[in-house]
């Protein structure tokens, strides 16, 4: 943590942050990884951050976010020197299918419905010959 918070070069800070993030993943602290790596201006480290974020989202069960991160890495032209695109592709393919969100249940009907006594009554309107 001294390197991350200290006055050292940006490259060294990014390397230290990525290593700490991987340690957190091994310790099942995926949310801490997301909190630490999200929203950072990472420049040339974007692909490495994206891969680790994808791994964290996968561990949290956030498949759609993991897929997004892995796709960003695969589309990044600078990723060739920082990550192995084939491994990232395998991780993306290994994700479970994204399940659609369950529909939100509607509110139960209020008590403004008509009371049973106001129900419609069927009337037999057949005309008999005697009444005519």
Q: Dump pLDDT digits (tens) for 10-66.
A: 889 899 999 999 999 999 999 999 999 988 778 889 999 999 999 999 999 999 999
6 lies in some domain? yes
| Reported confidence tier of residue 110, pLDDT bands at 50, 70, 90 | low
75 lies in some domain? yes
Q: Tens digits of per-residue pLDDT, 46-57?
A: 999 999 999 999
111 lies in some domain? no
Q: Closest Cα partner for 83 from 120, 54, 112?
A: 54
118 has a pLDDT exceeding 60 = no
Instruction: Specify the number of domains making up the chain.
Output: 1
Backbone CA torsion sign across 80, 81, 87, 91: negative
DSSP 2-52: HHHHSS--HHHHHHHHHHHHHHHHHTT-HHHHHHHHTT---GGGHHHHHHH
The boundaries of the domain holding residue 26 are 2-96
3 has a pLDDT exceeding 50 = no
76 lies in some domain? yes
121 lies in some domain? no
Inter-residue contact 17 to 33 (CB < 8 Å): no
Tokens representing 60 are 């949290």
H or E stretch covering 65 = helix 63-75
9 lies in some domain? yes
Give me the pLDDT at residue 54, please: 96
118 lies in some domain? no
122 lies in some domain? no
Q: What is the pTM of this model?
A: 0.67
Q: Which residue has the higher pLDDT, 42 or 85?
A: 85
Tokens representing 78 are 């600078």
73 has a pLDDT exceeding 60 = yes
Q: Residues of 49-59 as b/e, b for ≥16 C-beta within 10 angstroms? A: bbbbbbbbbbb
């Amino acid at each position: 943590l001294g390197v991350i918070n200290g006055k050292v070069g940006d490259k060294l800070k990014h390397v230290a942050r990525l290593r700490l993030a991987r340690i957190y993943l091994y310790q099942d602290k995926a949310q801490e990884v997301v909190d630490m790596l999200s929203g950072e201006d990472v420049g040339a480290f974007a692909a490495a951050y994206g891969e680790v974020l994808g791994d964290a989202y996968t561990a949290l069960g956030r498949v759609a976010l993991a897929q997004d991160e892995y796709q960003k890495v695969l589309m990044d032209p600078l990723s060739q020197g920082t990550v192995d695109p084939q491994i990232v592709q395998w991780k993306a393919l290994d994700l479970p299918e994204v399940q659609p969100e369950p529909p939100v249940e509607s509110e139960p009907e209020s008590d403004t419905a008509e009371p049973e006594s106001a129900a419609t009554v069927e009337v037999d309107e057949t005309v008999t010959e005697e009444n005519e």
